[in-house]
Amino acid sequence: FAQKDYKLWLQYEKKTDSPIISDYLSNIKGIIALENTATSKIAQNELQIALNAMLGSQFQVTVKPEGNHKIILGSKLVLTPEIQKAIGSDFERINEEGYIIKSVSIKNNKHIVITGKKDIGVLYGVYSFLRLVQMNKSIKNLHLIDAPKTNIRILNHWDNLDRTVERGYAGFSLWNWQKLPDFIDPRYIDYARANASIGINGTVLTNVNANALILTPQYLEKVEALANVFRPYGIKVYLTARFSAPIEIGGLKTADPKDLDVMNWWKNKAKEIYKRIPDFGGFLVKANSEGQPGPQNYGRDHVDGANMLADAVAPFGGVIMWRAFVYSEHDANDRAKQAYAEFVPYDGKFRDNVIVQVKNGAIDFQPREPFHPIFGAMPKTPLMIEFQITQEYLGFSTHLVFLPKLFQEVLESDTFQKEKGTTVAKIIDGSLSNSKLTGIAGVSNIGNDVNWTGHPFAQANWYGFGRQAWNPDLDAEVIADEWLRCTFSNDEKFIKPVAAMMIKSREAVVNYMTPLGLHHIMDTGHHYGPGPWVSDLSRPEWNPVYYHKADKNGIGFDRSKTGTNATAQYAPEVEKLFDNLETCPENYLLWFHHVSWDYKLKNGQTLWNSLAFKYQEGVDQVKEMQDTWNKTGKYVDKERFKEVQMLLDIQYKEAKWWRDACLLYFQQYSGKELPVGVENAS
């Protein structure tokens, strides 16, 4: 049982179709490895193990470039002059992490060359090549050139040192601090393999709500051990820095970023870390947010704090990822406006090795949010986007929701900053500002559950995040197709309906939780299940009633000119679109407007009826997902089939719970009957 669930998208299932096998076998007679670095060896092993398993053969790895129909592995500098010539100018089209897969003919012998400027490119190329074989794609006349569009493609683990995981729904943390550094759980290696296979090249090991202890020698020794495991897979380790660490573990009286002792403490700390981990990535910092310490505790600002840390890691090539997730209890007017208001004036003031990490939307990882207005509004500052792969607000690891669809929607959003077509993707891949420091972060959904992510389909969100971090323009449909083939089966009768189910799943969760722009109405604290009625929490902006503002006149948060004017934070074209009730896309309607219950939507129905229909549609969509899945039994192993089936049963039950709870609650205000076709809660 453990096997399939555990193996993620690297199943390397033995092929059974003999024409397909013999086709591959006629093109692959062995592997030639021209390089001997740790990374190259991983590439060779992975290729050998995977091909042997899938094609039921015993491929040999040799070192001399001879023979026919070999797969030749090696980075640019180790290639023979003939092979270099055959690759030609392709090298000019890739960056340091890119790869080239090319069918070449050398002295009348045919080979497939997998190369890159560096050995890590070769490893990425091997995984890409294996994906072709996993997907039964032709490997004749290959000419693939691919390179990541962002530099930092990173998982953020919100893992605590006691191994609990904040917002984690897949067991405990993978990092076994108690047994590290001497005990290397084989799972660390599989974690690294999985990440390398999708191009993830960084990992923040610790929670943004940070514990300073991670920076003590006792823990750094353990971090070093993990860094040693991950390094040959191209993965750099990063840590979260608790701003008050100089006080807590350094014995200083202050953590003021302008204090000389504090600056020196961080400089020495950086030196100490880099002595152990020469390629340490840097720090991720949550400061002056939700009670975390920060520069403002000393009358300083985010720039002072970030730059002080940036100066400490700069001599070693480190970066500071400074989060823009801030909102203050002293300004309850509109939480959605605060990060922009606070950060945009800092544009251009950060050091070159600071990148500001901005959540995809201005509130907090909702099933649907308009893109964060900061994107495009800080052209002189590198910005990275933070997505949440773990489903804090989307049904934990119980509900099946395919997130690449959500990520794509945000990445494709046109900010209109500077000009039409300035999508969020173009801002974060640096193409707009020519930024050298670019990145995408995903809050990890990984834990020590056998299947890593709790829900078998949540593996697709880890996979998809990595693929989109590599290429922010990648279509979610392509990702679903790849993932299904590599994880389950190449049978079209399975792929077609199940891919459609995945694609639909994102809209389904929006419909049964927060349709038409509703947001943050989950039960508070844990954020699981409906809680639109909650109104007694200490901070107003933690209460769902703050967000939906339902009353007898209508429902929704007026962020237009007549309200908080949050729309003014967007470029004029977008502002105009969102600000006007008539032009505001209906899926953001209640995000930007307080709308009367009788307002007519484009479908000719009143808002109340439309809301009710959306909730019902969400429920119906989950029912369809169940129907789809129930027909897949013959393509899927019993265990995963059953697991997904049980989880979908819960999702269906809970979609109804959401519909019933929300409609009953809002009905008190609308005072209207449910339209025909919407099932009645009672």
Residues in contact with ligand GCU by the rule CB under 6 A: 166-167, 208-209, 286, 290, 325, 364, 392
Nearer to ligand GCU, 291 or 604 (CB): 291
Is residue 579 among the annotated active site residues? no
CB of 374 to ligand GCU, least distance (A): 15
CB of 208 to ligand GCU, least distance (A): 5
Torsion region of 222: left, alpha or beta (phi above 0 gives left; psi -120 to 50 gives alpha): alpha
Q: How far apart are CA 502 and CA 505, in angstroms?
A: 5
CB of 361 to ligand GCU, least distance (A): 12
CB of 355 to ligand GCU, least distance (A): 16
Distance of CA 497 to the CA centre of its chain: 25
Is residue 290 among the annotated active site residues? yes
Residues 6+ apart with CB under 8 A from 150: 384, 428, 429, 430, 438, 439, 440, 469, 470, 472
Alpha-helical segments (H) within 242-359: 245-248, 260-276, 302-313, 335-343
Nearer to ligand GCU, 444 or 626 (CB): 444
CB of 286 to ligand GCU, least distance (A): 5
Nearer to ligand GCU, 527 or 548 (CB): 527
Phi, psi for 362 (deg, rounded to 5): -80, -15
SS3 392: coil
CB of 523 to ligand GCU, least distance (A): 13
Residues 6+ apart with CB under 8 A from 168: 158, 159, 390, 444, 445, 447
Catalytic choice (35, 342, 392, 654): 392
Nearer to ligand GCU, 531 or 554 (CB): 531
Residue among 101, 161, 159 nearest 133 (CA): 101
Is residue 392 among the annotated active site residues? yes
Catalytic choice (290, 352, 419, 627): 290
CB of 663 to ligand GCU, least distance (A): 26
CB of 399 to ligand GCU, least distance (A): 17
Alpha-helical segments (H) within 61-146: 81-87, 119-134
DSSP 527-562: --SB-TT----SSGGGSHHHHH--BTTEES---STT
Q: Are 319 and 274 in contact (CB under 8 A)?
A: no
Residue among 365, 357, 360 nearest 392 (CA): 365
Nearer to ligand GCU, 156 or 490 (CB): 156
Nearer to ligand GCU, 364 or 617 (CB): 364
Question: Max alpha carbon distance in the chain (Å)?
Answer: 82
Dihedral angle over CA of 119, 120, 126, 132, nearest 10? -140
Helix and strand totals (H; E) in the chain: 21, 16
Nearer to ligand GCU, 46 or 364 (CB): 364
Q: How far apart are CA 401 and CA 424, in angstroms?
A: 22
Residue among 394, 407, 397, 404 nearest 464 (CA): 404
Residue among 226, 219, 31 nearest 113 (CA): 31
Catalytic choice (364, 482, 558, 617): 364
Q: Which residues of 27-43 are buried (b: 16+ CB within 10 A; e: fewer)?
A: bbbbbbbbbebebbbbb
Nearer to ligand GCU, 196 or 363 (CB): 363
Residue among 108, 106, 113 nearest 90 (CA): 113
Cis peptide bond prior to 181, omega within 30° of 0: yes
Nearer to ligand GCU, 37 or 209 (CB): 209
CB of 537 to ligand GCU, least distance (A): 13
Distance of CA 492 to the CA centre of its chain: 28
Q: Which residues are catalytic?
A: 290, 364, 392
